[in-house]
A and B are shown apart, each in its own frame.
Chain A
Amino acid sequence: MNYNWNWSVLFEQQYFDWIISGTLWTIYLSLAASVIAFFLGSLIGILRTLDNKILNFIGTTYVEIFRNIPLLVQMFIWYFVFPELVPKEFGNWLKQDLPNPEFSSALFCLGTYTASRVAEQVRSGINSVSTGVGSAGYATGLTTYQLYIYILLPIGYRIIIPPLTSEFLTIFKNSSLALTIGLLELTARSNMIMDWTFQGFEAFTAATVIYVSVTMIVTLIMQRVEKQTQIPGFIRQKT
């Protein structure tokens, strides 16, 4: 193996800045997309557990569509196709006036895609609450809305903390797809350093270390959260 090692390249001002800004973009994008995925995913997941054929159908269709199209294709559709399909003025605004269109496209893409996966988790969380609990809730006079807000969701969410954590980590990894539409996140930056300096080993190692460390930190934090929120008497699920 013929390779000129030069780890100091990572600490040259320009490349160091690239790595930092790449990392920050990756983190911003993942956090913002998680918020969308959590709320939209919860909504879709709840739709699928309600006793209503039409709402079930809407939820199921959403999940099937978003799960069966590769994320990369979805990314291109949000970025290239969506502005063309909406009314002209709105499309022009998206293309010309929206600040940082790469970021917002990637954000909606990751958010809506992950929502379909979160929906499945939320649904299984709600379904795993015993039906007796639901009946008891109705018997005390709660409306369906109250039943979900006060009983089913608080229990369901606590059960699905481990799978939700891995969904968040999936967003974090999937955010690298934003490089295909030109967002300079961590993977894109490391590839740029490789192109500019030919120090691929150092550049990719830096990115790998950052991805692995963030994954480890998030996993550790969520293990603590899971312990804190554990419901006595429920068996803790293993990831």
Chain B
Amino acid sequence: MIKNFDFDVIIGSLPFLWKGLQVSFYLTFLALIGGILFGTLLALMRISNFKFLQYFSMTYVNFLRSMPLILVIFWFFFLIPLIIGRPIGGFYSAVIAFTMFEAAYYSEIIRAGLLSVSSNQVAAARATGLSYSQSMIYIILPQAFRNMIPVLLTQAVILFQDTSLVYVVSLRDFMTASSIVAQSQSRLVEMYLFAALIYFLICFTFSFMIKRIQNRKVVQ
């Protein structure tokens, strides 16, 4: 089998694949920022004292978490042009879909992080005269985020893997690019094994680094 392995097809398509990989990274980066911001908002709603906000956040999170990501992608690619009135392009539709989807997962991580900060801290912050939002922004969230960093990063690796699903809407990320080369050159074995190898190297390296951060935290 390995005799027929055509490395030239991989080398020849490297510039094209690199473009795809950049799209994957950029999409991951934007969805990560968006997901954490919106996820923080959802988590704050969930622990707030307003029943309406609590229920809204709870329903949103449970709903999104029981749906497959591909269905969420289909939903947003269908809904966004309908709501905005014009198409905004595949990339930004994907950014919105991933942000909305990941926010549900991030909010659960962030909520756990917020709850890990002792409630005495809120009381102490309020006693020094800080308002609720000030005590959240300056006292609770910074501590919560420090506790959450490894979990947030692990979720980022999962997000990076998930971005390969934009294949279903033909957005040219690394996965779609590999598949385009594979189909057009009829070199499916080489291209899909190569894609697997690249994804593995990236994700494994990141997971390894996250483990080191985690271990360092334990020592402190």
Contacts and interface: CB of A to CB of B under 8 A. Distances in A.
A68 B207 contact: yes
Nearest to B206: A68
A208 B72 CA distance: 9
A235 to B, nearest CB: 17
Nearest to A2: B82
A98 interface: no
A173 B69 contact: yes
Interface residues of B, number: 34
B71 A64 contact: no
Nearest to A76: B192
A187 B162 contact: no
B188 A72 contact: no
A65 B200 contact: yes
A184 B147 CA distance: 43
A27 B68 CA distance: 14
Nearest to B161: A70
A77 interface: yes
Given A70-B161, A80-B192, A81-B189, A190 B71 contact: yes
B56 interface: no
Interface string A149-186: 00000000000000000000100011111011000000
Given A69-B196, A207-B71, A180 B78 contact: no
Contacts of B68: 173-177, 187, 211
Dominant secondary structure of chain A at its interface with chain B:
helix
B165 interface: yes
Interface of A: 1-3, 64-65, 67-74, 76-77, 80-81, 84-85, 169, 173-177, 179-180, 187, 190-191, 194, 200-201, 204, 207-208, 211-212, 215-216
Which 9 A-B pairs give the minimum distances between C-beta atoms?
A: A215-B66, A176-B68, A68-B203, A70-B161, A173-B68, A200-B78, A70-B164, A80-B188, A176-B70
15 contacts: A64-B207, A69-B161, A70-B175, A72-B164, A72-B165, A73-B164, A73-B192, A179-B168, A194-B78, A200-B74, A211-B71, A212-B66, A212-B67, A215-B66, A216-B66
Interface of B: 1, 63, 66-71, 74-75, 78, 82-83, 157, 161-162, 164-165, 167-168, 175, 179, 182, 188-189, 192-193, 195-196, 199-200, 203-204, 207
